[in-house]
Structures are given as structure tokens and as C-alpha cells.
Amino acid sequence: MVSGPANSSSSGSESGRKEPRYKRGEKRVKPPLSEAALRDLALSYAARFASTGARLEAYLARKMRERGVAEDADGRTEAIDIPALVARLVELGYVDDATYARMRARDLGARGYGARRVEQALWAAGVNEGIRADTAPGERSRRRAAVLLAQKRRLGLFGNGREDSADPLARRKAHEKAVAAMLRAGHDYEHVRFILAAPNEAAIEEWLDEAADEEGTDGSW
């Protein structure tokens, strides 16, 4: 008796259709995006990352450019309204620009960055001017962040004595480098000048307390 053909299910699906095979290292091609698939991507992104509406919209637009848009049952390209999708997620509370702004500002302040760098970061993330203004730190927080940076970078009296060098040229270069570092980090020049000229840590503590007394409990990150 002649044996029958081998069972096709061993090399493909039950219908005999072989699944596509990918070589080692070959990138799997993802299918075009439908509106439902794009919504799932948006929800996944919002669940994993703190974001703004503008950043989420940019992410979804990039995914559409990379993968294309799926066709409907009639073979026509689906019309997907990304701004409307993002607006709906904002409405449902999955994306909140104000919450993002507060978190980002606190994080940058805790790392020693000044108000100007915070403003730039929020602007780049698409946070509107009103929220940026509401998130801006008060005087106490500005001073505290500047002191923190000086401590982290070992600048001024927190340093290793380079600004106390007997060589005037070396001393001036060290001072200019410290000023430039603090300005790049977004701090006010008046704050930078005070911290780098402070004779001791007690003077800096008094300077911080002075801002706290004037400001009360408002205006902190």
C-alpha cells in the first residue's frame, strides 16, 4: 500500500498554509495600523510613560509613518484622527500635561537644574505657557536648586580648592568655568554670583532661610 502524504500540520497551519519564516536577525515586519491598533498603542504608551498630549501625538504620528495605515473592508485607507484620539485620552485622564509638568520640574530641580532649564524642558515637551507659568518655581526653590548643583559639581566653597589657587590665572579660569556650568544648568546669574562668592556654608544657609521667610510655603517645586 502506498503511504499517503505527510501530515501538513507539521509544517504549517491546519489548512496547509505555511507561516512566514524569519531568518535569524531578520526584523519582523509589523502590519499597518488600524484605528483600534493605534488606540492600543496610545494606551500602552500612556501606561508606561508619563507624557504630555503633544508628545503622545508625536509618538503616534511616528508609528503611523513607520507602519502605514490599514485598509478598511472596501480596500480604502482608514482615516485616523490622531488629535481626536489624544484629546479623548486627555479627557479620560490617561494623559495630564499639568501632572507631567509638576513631575518633570521636581525631577530636574532635584538634580540641580535651574528654572530656565525646566522651562526649556517643558516647552520642548509641548506644555502650554499657562501650565509652564503655574509650574515655575519660586525664589526659595530656585536658590535651593542652585546650591544643590554647586554641591554636586563641587563648585565654589564646595570644591577642591582650585579657586583658592595662588595662581591668579588658574583661579580666574576655575571661577569662569564654575559660572559657565551653573548658567548652562539654567540658574540666575545673581544666584550663581552669590553662591560662588559665599565665604562659608553658614552664609548660604542664611541666604536660603531668607528666601523661605519671604516666600512662605508657596512657589516650591
Q: What is the mean pLDDT of residues 150-175?
A: 82
Kindly report the pTM of this predicted structure. Answer: 0.77
Same domain, 145 and 211: yes
Same domain, 142 and 205: yes
What percent of the chain is predicted at pLDDT more than 70? 80
Q: What is the mean pLDDT of residues 161-168?
A: 65
Residue 62 counted as domain residue: yes
Residue pair 221/139 in contact (Cβ under 8 Å)? The answer is no
CA–CA dist 96, 219 (Å, integer): 21
Residue 116 counted as domain residue: no
Q: How far is CA 64 from CA 44, 83, 151, in A?
A: 15, 13, 45
Q: How confident is the model at residue 159 (pLDDT cuts 50, 70, 90)?
A: confident
CA–CA dist 4, 117 (Å, integer): 74
Q: How confident is the model at residue 212 (pLDDT cuts 50, 70, 90)?
A: confident
Residue 25 counted as domain residue: no
Choose one of 54, 77, 92: the last residue of a domain.
92
- The reported pLDDT for the residue numbered 163 is 58
Taken in order 12, 18, 22, 24, the sign of the CA dihedral is positive
Residue 119 counted as domain residue: no
Domain that holds residue 58: 30-92
Outline where the chain has alpha helix (H): 35-48, 53-67, 82-92, 97-110, 115-124, 129-135, 139-153, 168-184, 189-197, 201-215
Q: What angle do CA 183, 128, 149 make, to 5 degrees?
A: 25
Residue 79 counted as domain residue: yes
Count, residues in the chain: 221
Inform me whether the pLDDT recorded for 193 exceeds 60.
yes
Name the residue among 139, 145, 78 with its Cα closest to residue 107: 145
Inform me whether the pLDDT recorded for 11 exceeds 50.
no
Q: What is the mean pLDDT of residues 96-125?
A: 97
Per DSSP, the three-state class of 33 is strand
- The reported pLDDT for the residue numbered 147 is 97
Name the residue among 128, 130, 91, 114 with its Cα closest to residue 188: 114
Q: Grid coordinates standing for 144?
A: 535651593
Residue 38 counted as domain residue: yes
Q: What is the mean pLDDT of residues 194-218?
A: 85
Same domain, 143 and 210: yes
Q: Grid coordinates standing for 108?
A: 530636574
Q: Which has the minimum average pLDDT: 1-15, 32-46, 83-97, 192-206?
A: 1-15
Name the residue among 144, 178, 176, 143 with its Cα closest to residue 160: 178
Q: How confident is the model at residue 14 (pLDDT cuts 50, 70, 90)?
A: very low
Residue pair 211/140 in contact (Cβ under 8 Å)? The answer is yes
- The reported pLDDT for the residue numbered 214 is 65
Q: How many domains does the chain have?
A: 2
Question: 55-103, pLDDT tens digit by residue?
Answer: 999 999 999 999 999 887 767 787 899 999 999 999 999 999 999 999 9
- The reported pLDDT for the residue numbered 142 is 96
Residue 185 counted as domain residue: yes
Inform me whether the pLDDT recorded for 160 exceeds 80.
no
- The reported pLDDT for the residue numbered 171 is 85
- The reported pLDDT for the residue numbered 72 is 74
Residue 220 counted as domain residue: no
- The reported pLDDT for the residue numbered 130 is 97
- The reported pLDDT for the residue numbered 113 is 98
